[in-house]
Chains A and B, each alone.
Chain A
Amino acid sequence: GAVVSQHPSRVICKSGTSVKIECRSLDFQATTMFWYRQFPKKSLMLMATSNEGSKATYEQGVEKDKFLINHASLTLSTLTVTSAHPEDSSFYICSASLSGSDEQFFGPGTRLTVL
């Protein structure tokens, strides 16, 4: 089946620094990638949808200047948390889908801790 990887799996950073999380589709070309955020014991909240070669579409309430998303190729999307603060600490999960596909394939997630 389709495999999506995320790197890093865990990251700890100081407040004010920026962190980049990579999401890769390993064995298929993903025309669309999604970024979710999951709070402890909560559901996944969609942050943004990114299509290869175009600007990401952010959900209401998500700061696009804080959460920079780049989808430069059909196999890679990156999420950069800029000037991270402790409240940005969360579990970030990406998913990828093929054009016309009804299924999303999820990465293993990245645990971000901002001190």
Chain B
Amino acid sequence: AQSVAQPEDQVNVAEGNPLTVKCTYSVSGNPYLFWYVQYPNRGLQFLLKYITGDNLVKGSYGFEAEFNKSQTSFHLKKPSALVSDSALYFCAVRDARGTPLVFGKGTRLSVIA
């Protein structure tokens, strides 16, 4: 069975500094990896995904993530954080098309002005 670990409940970063939100996964077979962002009382918004191809994936709002197969990681990054990036971030994985996503517990990002 697949699983996702987001080791940090909370990440604090100063505005303008780079940010990283960590994610590691476990699947059998090739992973399909996703990052979503959730604002208060809202549904999930898609940020980016890795299915195949380049290990560095670029997504919405300047976010990117790097797939590292040897470390089974898919960390989310942004070179320069904005206060508006403050939200709850979820990493998710699936192991085949049509199967439901398995989510990590989420990491709350706070960007301080």
Task: From the candidates A42, A49, A102, A106, name the one contacting B44 in the complex (CB within 8 A).
Answer: A106
Q: How many residues on chain B are close to A (CB under 8 Å)?
A: 22
* Chain B binder among A13-21, A64-72, A73-81, A107-115: A107-115
Question: Which residue of B43, B44, B100 is within 8 Å of A46 (Cβ)?
Answer: B100
CB distance from B37 to the nearest CB of A (A): 11
Give the residue among B97, B98, B103 with the most A Cβ atoms within 10 A: B98
- State whether A44 and B97 are in contact (beta carbons under 8 Å apart), knowing that A93-B44, A109-B41 are contacts in the complex: no
Q: Indicate the member of B51, B94, B103, B104 with the most A CB atoms within 10 Å.
A: B103
For the complex, give the distance between the alpha carbons of A102 and B94 in Å.
Answer: 9
Query: Do the beta carbons of A100 and B97 come within 8 Å of each other?
Result: yes
Q: In whole angstroms, what is the CA distance A97 to B34 when docked?
A: 14
List, in ascending order, chain B residues with CB within 8 A of A82's CB: none
Query: Is A43 in contact with B90, judged by CB distance below 8 angstroms?
Result: yes
Q: Do residues A44 and B51 form an inter-chain contact, with CB atoms below 8 A? A: no
Asked whether, in the complex, the Cβ of A102 is within 8 Å of the Cβ of B41, the reply is: no
Cα distance, A112 to B32, chains bound together (Å):
31
A61 to chain B, nearest CB (A): 15
CA distance A105 to B41 in the complex (A): 17
Counting from the closest, the 8 A-B pairs by CB-CB distance are A108-B43, A106-B44, A43-B105, A109-B43, A106-B43, A43-B103, A44-B103, A46-B100
Residues of A within 8 A of B (CB): 4, 6, 32, 34, 41-44, 46, 49, 91, 93, 95, 97, 99-109, 111
Can you sample 20 A-B contacts with CB below 8 Å? A4-B43, A41-B106, A43-B104, A43-B105, A44-B44, A46-B102, A49-B100, A93-B43, A95-B101, A97-B98, A102-B32, A102-B94, A105-B46, A106-B36, A106-B44, A107-B43, A108-B42, A108-B43, A109-B41, A109-B42
